């Protein structure tokens, strides 16, 4: 089985995440996409985020009805920052027969060489890159150069063409805080949940 992993804080999940996941499922192709909810994102230690359980609830509401989409809560009980390399190691331990692809937006590529153990990431998963508005998509050779890979080190990377839905969770949180609408930017069930729980007020 080939599984795509879409990791994120999902605070909140929005239609851009879902569109990205579906285009990757179709084009790679993938048997399933697992939404990996980050418990302690290392790049967001300086701000308060919604509880893990609430973010999981929102993702579950968003993916309901799509049998190819699943929510993975593996990072909930892992101590320390939620590093991609550690997540992939654990996935391979639990599912040794599964081929994993790591879905990433082109906006994240410049940071990837500075991630925790980036060479472990590319050794354990195929990189599936989705273009984001305003961010160029690196070629495989550019990625190899930035990672300083020797010719003997393999890099499996595929670019997926998807509609550029220019949404960011931080903008949605700000809209809610300002009393503005996020209707049609998140799934209806997620909007109802945000309103019911009074999130981001």
Q: What are phi and psi of 38, to 5 degrees?
A: -80, 130
pLDDT at 114: 95
Q: What are the residue ranges spanned by the domains of the chain?
A: 2-165
Q: Which of 68, 8, 78, 12 is nearest to 43 (CA)?
A: 8
pLDDT at 133: 83
Per-residue burial over 145-167, b = 16 or more CB atoms within 10 Å of its CB, e = otherwise = eeeebeeeeeeebebbebeeeeb
Three-state DSSP class for 9?
coil
Residues of the chain with pLDDT under 50: none
Residues 40-74 have pLDDT tens digits of 877 656 678 999 999 999 999 999 999 999 999 99
pLDDT at 45: 60
pLDDT at 177: 97
pLDDT at 43: 61
CATH architecture of 2-165: 3-Layer(aba) Sandwich (3.40)
Three-state DSSP class for 52?
helix
Residue 140's Cβ-side half-sphere holds a number of Cα atoms within 13 Å equal to 12
pLDDT at 44: 58
């Amino acid at each position: 089985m080939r599984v795509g992993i879409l990791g994120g804080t999902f605070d909140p999940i929005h239609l851009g995440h879902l569109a990205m996941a579906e285009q990757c499922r179709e084009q790679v192709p993938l048997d399933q996409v697992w939404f990996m909810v980050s418990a302690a994102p290392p790049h967001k230690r300086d701000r308060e985020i919604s509880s893990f359980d609430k973010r999981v609830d929102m993702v579950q509401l968003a993916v309901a009805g799509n049998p190819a989409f699943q929510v993975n809560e593996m990072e909930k009980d892992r101590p320390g920052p939620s590093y991609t390399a550690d997540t992939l190691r654990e996935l391979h331990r639990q599912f040794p027969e599964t081929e994993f692809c790591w879905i990433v937006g082109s906006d994240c590529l410049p940071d990837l060489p500075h991630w925790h153990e980036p060479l472990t990431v590319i050794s354990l998963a195929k990189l599936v890159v989705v273009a984001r508005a305003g961010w160029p998509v690196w070629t495989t050779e550019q990625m190899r150069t930035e990672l300083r890979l020797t010719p003997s080190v393999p890099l499996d990377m595929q670019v997926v063409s998807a509609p550029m839905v220019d949404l960011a969770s931080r903008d949605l949180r700000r809209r809610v805080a300002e009393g503005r609408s996020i209707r049609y930017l998140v799934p209806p069930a997620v909007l109802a949940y945000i309103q019911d729980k009074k999130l981001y007020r």
